[in-house]
Structure 1
Amino acid sequence: MTLRVAGKTSKTIKSESPLADGFNSAPGNSWGVEMANKTSETDKLRQKVEQMNEKLDKLLKQNDAYHASSELGETGQDDIYDKTGWLADPNGEYLGQAVEDDGCQDAYYEHSWVAEDEMPELENVNGDSGLGHKWTAEDSWGMGRAHDDSGLGDEVALTETNDEADELRDQVRCLQARLADLLSENDQLAMKVKELEGDWDNLIPSRHCFLSLYKCQKLQRALTLDECEHLVHASTKVASGDVLADSELYISGERRDYDVFVDLYGLDPHAVPSVLKDQHTIELVNAHATILASKYKTYTPKFQERFARFITNLRRTGYPEDCLIGLIDDVGILELQSSYTAFRNALHTEVSDVSKTEVMNDPVNSW
């Protein structure tokens, strides 16, 4: 029976966006994907171990059956001979004695059998003398050799079976050791996923706070009672966007102000988990949301135009992965790469930091 280690995939909530602040790429969380891969690999290896064990059991059964048949054959063959070497009659009479009795009834055969101790020559129907005796001897020798050859073949087959069984035992031991390692790694990944799930539960209020602050401060819209409670109970206020984490709030039904999400990320929250796979795209979308929600940054209309063009080309090409950087001979991908580069440059050229400007204009803090 195959045991499966259940693992729940969870997404990590990043506290800040590297593109929005330092414009450096950061690796995405892959604990959930790695957990699923380890579980799949463990199941496949477990099935292979079971198949090897079944094959080993079959070989061992064949081995036992061979030994049983060999012992039975030897026992049965010993029973058909008596101590003098004569074949025993099924009725309990010795065939040698019977021949001697028959010989006693005929004087000629009695003299030939007793005195010379050899069989008389027999003539066949064709009149050839001695051929009957010669055929009997060769046939007896051939039957004995066939019996010896058959026994030798059985011994060779048994040796090959034992060698194959030993090889299978070694393979089973290696597979079991590998399976134990995978199960250990799987348990470690499960613990890490559980920790990440705890972090996610703690950061849910913070993600609500990020969205509600943008809705209130930037869009100048009223908040619901639940959204106000999120602002009050948020232990940590995050200033960076996270398209994957925020989309979960809409998918779960905790938030319904979809226009707020679309304004920040340019995408439908329900489509994000299935279409947004490329890490460069995720970082760029998060940077856009971070700048829009920040109270210290301002941006030009060109910044929004380049972002809209990038999202349009992204939809048109089907949200491709690993093609934003590199040479690809496709018109749609080339346009996507061009819009990606243009918006990435706009993060530097079309965005201003208000806090730095205020410091430069303050005569006290400028020293």
Structure 2
Amino acid sequence: MNFNLYQDSILLTILKIWTFFLIVFTSTNIYAQNKERPRTNVGLVYPLSSNWTSAPRDTNNFSLNLIAGVSAAERGVSLAGFANIVHNDASGVQVAGFSNHIGKIANGAMFAGFINTYGGGKGVAVAGFSNISGNGSGAQIAGFLNKGGDISSVQVAGFMNMAREMKGTQIAGFMNLAKKVKGAQISFINIADSAGTQIGIINLAKNGEKGLAATIDEHQTTLLTLRSGGKVLYGIIGIGYNFSNKKEKYAWEAGIGAHVLTIQSFRLNTELVSSGLESFKGEDYTKSSFRLMPAFKITRSVELFGGPSFNFVNTNNPEGQKLTEHYVSSWRRNNGRDLYGFYFGYTAGIQVLF
């Protein structure tokens, strides 16, 4: 079989099918125009479509474009291989391989391989990279970034969410940023002028609490830590130094805590923390801890705290294995090189609140 003739035959077949659709939908548009009904638009890319050069002024109830479609408004389903461009409002479903651009209000659902941009609306916007909008109520879900004005509902992003006023929940892989939040921010870093609930490692809000603390534990690990959050939940992050070891001596910790009881100058805190010691030479020492920490304010901005901890340790270096002498339970693997164990310890410190 001649391969070139075979290719030509396939292309001719596709052309015939596409011509058939153009004829059918063009006829439908003529009928719809006479009856003053919304149009159906089928094409390749503007102006090569059944709506021809009038496409930017037309309102459609169905659009199908192999590359990109242009219209004044959409009232149903819009499908494009690359982009949908709607100058005014859109309702229904817009699906594009790369982007959807709605000039004004979008009510319904938008799905784009890369980006959705729209003035506002109600519904769901899902993009592989970013959603950018004005005011709206609905869900924005993006692989990298969501950016909006006044948003009511949910923003979910792989990296970052931004909003002026958020009534709902922001969930991001790295950072949430908003001016005013009536709801929750959940991320590694949460920043707001005023916030409801912030769940993260670093939480910064004008109506929140921040404290810089110096702590020490049963292994002589001394840390400088930032505790930040709201009335109940707060995040913990710190770096420091271990004075018992010669190699595994650089320390870190991160976790979350909760003020479970507050009575005047007394607070009872609980914390879940992961920490470790590093020599940066390949050996590991990691510890997961649950802490029960009573705290007393000795002045308005200075607090003393300390209490017991229950710890699980995993280490494969000799210094780490020597730090703890008594375990509740322990075991070894890899011919004794890896040590796992549970034991009781303590943490104490002083914190300056600001």
Under TM normalisation by the shorter chain, which class is it? under 0.3
**Counting helix residues as a fraction of each chain, which structure ranks higher?**
1
Higher-Rg member (1/2)? 1
**Counting strand residues as a fraction of each chain, which structure ranks higher?**
2
